[in-house]
Amino acid sequence: MDILSLQTILFFLLFSICFYIFFLKPKSNKNANYSFGINPLLGSLPNFLCHRHHFLDWSTEILSTSPTNTAVFYRPGKLHGVITANPQIVEHMLKSNFDNYPKGTRQITLLEDFLGKGIFNADGELWKIQRKTASYEFNTKSLRNFVMKNISTELQTRLIPVLEKVSVETNRILDFQDIMERFAFDNICKVAFNVDPCCLGGDESVGWEFMQAFEDASSLSLGRFMYAIRGLYKIKKFFNMGSEKKLQKSISIVHEFANKIIKTRMEERNENKDEDLLSRFIGTKNNENIEFLRDVVISFILAGHDTTSSALSWFFWLLSSRKDVEERILQELENIRARNGKSIGEVYSFDELREMHYLHAAISESMRLYPPVPVDTKACKEDDILPDGTFIGKNWFISYHAYAMGRMENIWGKDCCEYKPERWIDENGICKQESPFKYPIFHGGLRMCLGKDMAYIQMKSIAASVLERFAVDVMIEKGKSPEHLFSLTLRMKGGLPVRVRDRII
Ligand code: HEM
């Protein structure tokens, strides 16, 4: 080796060490040994890229070996992150030190083109104002009645007829995830602005383009978080190129669709007695701005459209290998029908849904293992020390890993990986509540999900009506778990192929 190459190698080594010391190596960090990988130049990125296709399981493995179920994610530069599956830390970030862990400028900027300043993409005063109005409305009996009415119509006129039709075609295979997504999209659009896009079993021309554009806008906005070079999306946006071109087109379709509805609604407001969220927001003073109302509505659709469908897809997949659980649910439904003089096919009332403790437990248990929002991320406003002693710096990201938390022995016991609805049932047969910091499926603290009750109404109504009427046979090899799709919600790659048989015939 000549002297010049030796010098080059030595220089490169020295440079890497200095770079590591000055830019990557964290300050006193109790959990510095527990990380997602420390490459001297690129931090945890190479490991992340290697394991991206099975990120949730890979990161769960790392978190379970850390003594406090927390590990550091190093990024080139100083803006690292912390990922945790520790309930104390989750409580610290979502409740005790809430003000220090907002959504943050980066997240808000990347999603702003699509979500604007809607509740889902706002911090501080802007968030507080929307939260106050929305919390009040989500707790009214009139909204609950409106939700019940929509679900029952959609079940009777759409979902059940679609499944009935498929059940007579013996060899027909259906993507159950797709059906659930269409149902949820129609449903949330009704609740948000009283428009039925008819994506399931109706005249698709009404809202199919809107749904497609909405899906594209969400996934392409999320794609902006994945760029290895930060800010590259801005250049693509400036030159209207590639994914940014498609994103801007999808956003304009969504915005136009929503603007038209909002304008009409504002014009006819006096005689309008609708119960949807848009009317309720128009009804509060100072909400005359179309753009603001559009942002509000889009945030609600985003929050409510993919989550319940994800939960139900995993629930039906789990049930397919647990006939004992299915039997118990059917028994519970039979008892409720017998008590209330109901026959199969009649939609359940709100009070009857509340009597379904075992079904509630079975769905909650399914979301424990397959959380619709598997990882949720915030930004750190000022340097802080987390309850386990881990240092977190200003502008670092912090994520709680709900998927890993469902698989932690120290939270759920030795049988943590087993699907066991019974763990939710107390000695009186009632479904127990869990601490939202141990079970952060619906978030926790001040930003707790507003649609939790609405989601359970929807999920229990669908599960009960489908299960008592149809046997859903999943067409995936026994013992094989569907692959995850990398998106904001936990979706199945390739969908959930099923065959449906009528139980009544
Ligand atoms: C199984 C179903 C659902 C799950 C698992 C779920 C979960 C969550 C989670 C984890 C968050 C926190 C997101 C964040 O701030 O980073 C959230 C927020 C929210 N959810 Fe849900 N959600 C569900 C259904 C719904 C439904 C049906 C609605 C109805 C519109 C809804 C409305 C909202 C709203 C408005 C927020 C924002 C709250 C705020 O920032 O103050 N969710 N949800």
Determine the distance separating the centroid of ligand 1 and the alpha carbon of 305, expressed in angstroms: 10
Query: Does the beta carbon of 308 lie inside 6 Å of ligand 1?
Result: yes
SS3 398: strand
Q: What is the mean pLDDT of residues 365-388?
A: 96
Q: Which residue CA neighbors atom 36 of ligand 1 most closely?
A: 449
Q: Which residue CA neighbors atom 41 of ligand 1 most closely?
A: 447
Query: Does the beta carbon of 307 lie inside 6 Å of ligand 1?
Result: yes
Give the residue ranges of the annotated binding site for heme.
Answer: 449
Q: Which of 449, 456, 457, 490 to mutate to test the pocket of ligand 1 (most atoms within 8 A of CB)?
A: 449
What pLDDT score does 206 carry?
66
Determine the distance separating the centroid of ligand 1 and the alpha carbon of 447, expressed in angstroms: 9
- Give the atom of ligand 1 at the shortest distance from the alpha carbon of 402: 10
Query: Does the beta carbon of 304 lie inside 6 Å of ligand 1?
Result: yes
What is the ipTM score, two decimals?
Answer: 0.99
- Give the atom of ligand 1 at the shortest distance from the alpha carbon of 440: 10
Q: What is the mean pLDDT of residues 330-346?
A: 94
How far apart (Å, rounded) are the C-alpha atoms in residues 292 and 116?
A: 8
Q: What is the pLDDT of residues 242-270, one digit of tens each?
A: 999 999 999 999 999 999 888 888 877 65
Determine the distance separating the centroid of ligand 1 and the alpha carbon of 41, expressed in angstroms: 37
Reference 213, options 301, 150, 311, 290; nearest CA is 301
- Classify 494 in phi/psi space as left (phi over 0), alpha (psi -120 to 50) or beta: left
Q: With a threshold of 0.80, does the pTM exceed it?
A: yes
Residues 6 or more apart from 465 whose CB is under 8 A from it? 155, 159, 160, 345, 347, 348
State whether the Cα torsion 402-405-406-407 is positive or negative.
Answer: positive
Determine the distance separating the centroid of ligand 1 and the alpha carbon of 351, expressed in angstroms: 23
Report the share of the chain in percent with pLDDT over 70. Answer: 90
How far apart (Å, rounded) are the C-alpha atoms in residues 334 and 62?
A: 44
Going by the DSSP 8-state scheme, the letter that residue 490 receives in this structure is -
Give the residue ranges of the annotated binding site.
Answer: 449
Q: Hey, which of 10-19, 183-192, 363-372 has the most confident mean pLDDT?
A: 363-372
Determine the distance separating the centroid of ligand 1 and the alpha carbon of 344, expressed in angstroms: 32
What pLDDT score does 274 carry?
65
Query: Does the beta carbon of 451 lie inside 6 Å of ligand 1?
Result: yes
Query: Does the beta carbon of 137 lie inside 6 Å of ligand 1?
Result: no
Query: Does the beta carbon of 450 lie inside 6 Å of ligand 1?
Result: yes
Does pLDDT of 28 surpass 60?
no
Determine the distance separating the centroid of ligand 1 and the alpha carbon of 369, expressed in angstroms: 18
